[in-house]
Structure 1
């Protein structure tokens, strides 16, 4: 119950990038989809802008560039069709606003007035939970990866560059989310209730097998140079990552993140479908659906109809997954005006609404062919 209470319910922006003003409802599983450059990422970026400024807000500062995302200057953040001269970001009861008038347009950092911030303490409490953001530009196969050097808070890196390091650090520890672990390792348990905790190493490998059935991996840490490397194994043979499909390297940080987040945490993933076969995309989103039902809030940006259809199948197969557990924001750009359609997946896997351009290209192509 505590993990549900820590989830974000709403994000609102005003004069923020492409949106003069809009509210986005959030659910345990939230999907943003739509055409290119329509504004799918804007709500996510508003959340990132606040997270990377938690320490700054404490001292009444707000930086536009940080470790999660760099916006540039105020003029780059300000909507092209602004409603007033203030930029506002709200997350639940937290509200932040700052001037975006002519004198501020070239600034990269702003000083906040006392009255421009409210509800910050409650936001800080929620943000003290685990958090992972994986951007669309994730690392592909590498001969080795940097060590995170962080033993306190989870840090897989926005490109997934520290994922192997975090996996190595936690692989011999019990999984942080045993409810999720029991679901993912159900085949090993043979329907029996586990008498002992499931470890992170087992959870990662069993979850990856749902996407890549032959998956097997060993990870080695080179302490003297602060790097880690992995080899994929097949029988007695070992294979370098660059000799295995790109999709494995791209999806591995997502699975590692899912395995090491504690209930109450937040996982944001852009384009999880990259380099994955349609069946693997469907398997991946079902994993993320399960994760969202065990106390981890999941936010996904996608271009894939296989992701959306995977959610529909999951809903039909799982009685506990209802409309309240998910929301899809379909974002479109028509004549420089953004339009957002809220869609849910009901317990039968049906979409509660449809939108023009909502993953209908295959139907248009088939109609043209036949």
Structure 2
């Protein structure tokens, strides 16, 4: 798991530290820095996954015993995120051109370690940050190089259509794609497999079958729904169909948009195992408020089993459902953390907000899910 992240001179942040729990919620104003936190993690992840493909590269970085320039640098484009040129990553009012990243990590065996990279903009190649060999320290990278226990779902996810992407390689790794583009193929292949975490079995499910439990949790979003999926190996595509109450099957285009949009989230959550890290952007998108609360409740159930979730959201329904889950002991308040991002004099800051054992918020800074009260007051007066 990621225990903490520290950034200096990265995008909108002069300096910031974020502490992570099993369930960490990133909220706040638009362009306040929520996505920048996620992007910094994704940037480190994609670079170390690439480095891990080359024998001895990580050990060379750890020992600082390298002469190849390409080894001692960090790319701004990759598998999870594309950040443009390095100049765009430098804090606007930075006094120098150094950008630093520090991650504190803990693996499944509770072994702790850290990664500290002090980087400088590569003037010869703007798509790279050069690692300062004398200042950086790498003593723990297992989480960063492990592809199979990490999932990221962007705010831009799959939409209703006749055919979906096909990839045996990604499905075998459990990689659903940043948009969930391989989630339908994954569902088809693993339909009869059992959940990795028995605690995620839906109360109305007759078994631990992956497909059945995906369908039952999806039914919390749309009453009476069921799903089926398959693959065409010859034409290399996957497909999805829905039905209601045992009736005729429909292609996704004939069912509500939000159903397909949320499906990769449910599949990602239910395929998780302890020690996994999952990052989800805007899980509330295209969902009715009650459905947003259901997804938040499922997230809490997953996080309570030792899966780390980092979630960016603008939804007060999502927040309040987490508060209720804490009160109902679905997840302990000590396993949750909330950050509210805002700007003060054009500088992005993050205020830490905590929940007590009854789901009560310890403080309500201005702009923190207060728009309901503001508009209601205007109606009353």
Q: Same fold (TM over 0.5)?
A: yes
| SS of equivalent residue, structure 2 residue 74 | strand
Spell out, residue by residue over 1:203-228, the C-alpha distance to the aligned partner (whole angstroms, 9 max, x if none).
21222122222220111211111110
Q: Does the C-alpha gap of structure 1 residues 209 and 297 become closer, same or farther in structure 2, counting only changes over 3 Å?
A: same
Distance in 2, matches of 1:124 and 1:87, equals 23
| Residue 354 (structure 1) aligned to one of 348, 364, 370 | 364
1:1-370 mapped onto 2 (5 Å cutoff): 7-57=1-51, 58=58, 59-92=71-104, 93-100=114-121, 103=123, 107-120=126-139, 122-125=140-143, 127-128=145-146, 130-150=149-169, 151-181=171-201, 185-188=202-205, 198-234=208-244, 235-318=246-329, 321-370=331-380
CA RMSD of aligned residues (A): 1.8
Contact 1:148 1:156 (8 Å CA) reproduced: no
Displacement of 1:179 after TM fit?
2.6
| SS of equivalent residue, structure 1 residue 140 | coil
Dislocated runs of 4+, deviation >6 Å = none
Alignment TM-score, normalising by the size of structure 1 = 0.90
Displacement of 1:116 after TM fit?
4.8
Distance in 2, matches of 1:25 and 1:286, equals 22
Distance in 2, matches of 1:135 and 1:48, equals 11
Give the aligned partner of residue 63 of structure 2: none
Displacement of 1:337 after TM fit?
1.6
Distance in 2, matches of 1:113 and 1:336, equals 29
Displacement of 1:56 after TM fit?
4.2
Matched positions, count: 350
Distance in 2, matches of 1:359 and 1:98, equals 36
Distance in 2, matches of 1:39 and 1:111, equals 24
Query: Which ranges in structure 2 are unaligned for 5 or more consecutive residues?
Result: 52-57, 59-70, 105-113
Displacement of 1:202 after TM fit?
2.1
Contact 1:165 1:228 (8 Å CA) reproduced: yes
Query: Which ranges in structure 1 are unaligned for 5 or more consecutive residues?
Result: 1-6, 190-196
Displacement of 1:72 after TM fit?
0.8
Spell out, residue by residue over 1:58-86, the C-alpha distance to the aligned partner (whole angstroms, 9 max, x if none).
34331101121111111011111214321
